[in-house]
A and B are shown apart, each in its own frame.
Chain A
Amino acid sequence: MSMTTTAGHVHADPHHIGVVIEHPGPASKRIVTAYGFWIFLLSDIVMFSCFFAAYAVLSGQTAGGPKGSEIFEQRNVAIETVCLLLSSFTCGMASIAADVRNRFWYYLGMAVTCVLGVIFLIIEFREFADLIARGYGPSRSAFLTAFFSLVGCHGLHVSAGVLWLLTMMAQVFAKGFRADVLRRMMCFALFWHALDIIWVGVFSVVYLLGGGT
């Protein structure tokens, strides 16, 4: 070991005896962009994990306020979940349409995704507004603080996603399926699917686990 390094010459990769797989050089822009966004998503998920951790720590601290089982409505959550799952599917359809450069199916896929996302946001907004109207706002107890922040953080991400989605559609309309537009579309799809994964965590941990007795 020390011999090869002090010699300072070739001899790297002693484990690939004979066949040294040479690194082929810089990757294409598409791979670089998507990979960078992938790293961003992981960091975003770490951020969510803090809100999950806070929820886990604070979920019992109701301070005399309502418990989760008293305020959650499973039916609404189920509708929200179906909306997001279907929107993930339509987003996938839009990515395929973008790859084969079919404008009609692209717009259709994105529009449906947008509508489903907006329905999700409306249901969530009404749930929040209803809770606040009943006096169960985030400053009522630490539990509600954690609940509103975790679910609201996901909601903010979905809102940002809808804004991005509309910007993307406008861009395809103005610029067509250019290489950089396709790269952005790929990142958007990653973002939208990742939000779905977070939502799986949210409805399982917050609504189902927290809604039980």
Chain B
Amino acid sequence: MSDQTHLPGHDLAPGEEEQHSVGERVLGYVVGLGLALLLTATSFFIAGTDLVWQPSIPVALIVLAIAQMGVHLVFFLHITTGPDNTNNVLALAFGLLVVFLVVGGTVWIMSHLNANMPPMDQIMPKPM
């Protein structure tokens, strides 16, 4: 087996970029770092501020977190939509589906369970 980076017809390894010059690659990381820092700063700002409508804060934080994960995936892990990346993206999608099912399912199930079977001290007042 050879170790050439990219044969025609073959996929790209995860995390590997298309052939670029060093300057372009460094620029990619710089842009990624800039965007990530910007999104992080926004998150920290929003969490501590009372300038925005309070109930929107959790939603905004989650959206910002997902956006930042996207930035990391694109600029640091070099995930693209190209055909040579299909396998990598499909694996990622499967992983994300499982993450979503496990976290979402757990939260959903456990919240129903807690609603149906609250702990004893919430049903009965504590003997003083």
Query: How extensive is the interface on chain A, given as a class?
Result: 35 or more
Instruction: Please judge, given known A-B contacts A201-B69, A209-B58, A209-B61, whether A49 and B10 are in contact too, CB under 8 Å.
Output: no
A28 touches B110 (CB 8 A): no
Q: Which of B24-62 contact A (CB under 8 A)?
A: 25-26, 29-30, 32-33, 36-37, 40, 43-44, 47-48, 57-58, 61-62
Cross-chain contact A196 with B76 (CB below 8 angstroms): yes
In the complex, what residues of B have CB within 8 A of residue A123's CB? none
Residues B25 and A200 in contact, CB atoms below 8 Å apart: no
**Any B CB within 8 A of the CB of A170:** no
Pair A46/B98 contact, Cβ less than 8 Å: yes
List B contacts of A189 (CB < 8 A). 15
- Give B22 Cβ to nearest chain A Cβ, in Å: 6
Beta-carbon contact of B92 and A31 below 8 Å: no
Least Cβ distance of B102 to chain A in Å? 5
Binding site for B on A (CB under 8 A): 21, 24, 26-35, 37-39, 42-43, 45-46, 49-50, 52-54, 56-57, 74, 77-78, 81-82, 85-86, 88-89, 92-93, 96, 100, 179, 183, 186, 189-190, 193-194, 196-197, 200-201, 203-205, 208-209, 211-212
Chain A neighbourhood of B95, CB < 8 A: 42-43, 45-46
Determine the residue in chain B with the shortest Cβ distance to A189: B15
Give Cα A78–Cα B47 distance, bound, in whole angstroms. Answer: 12
Which of B44, B72, B107 meets A57, CB within 8 Å?
A: B107
- What is the distance, in angstroms, from A114's C-beta to the closest C-beta of chain B? 18
Closest A residue to B12 using CB positions: A31
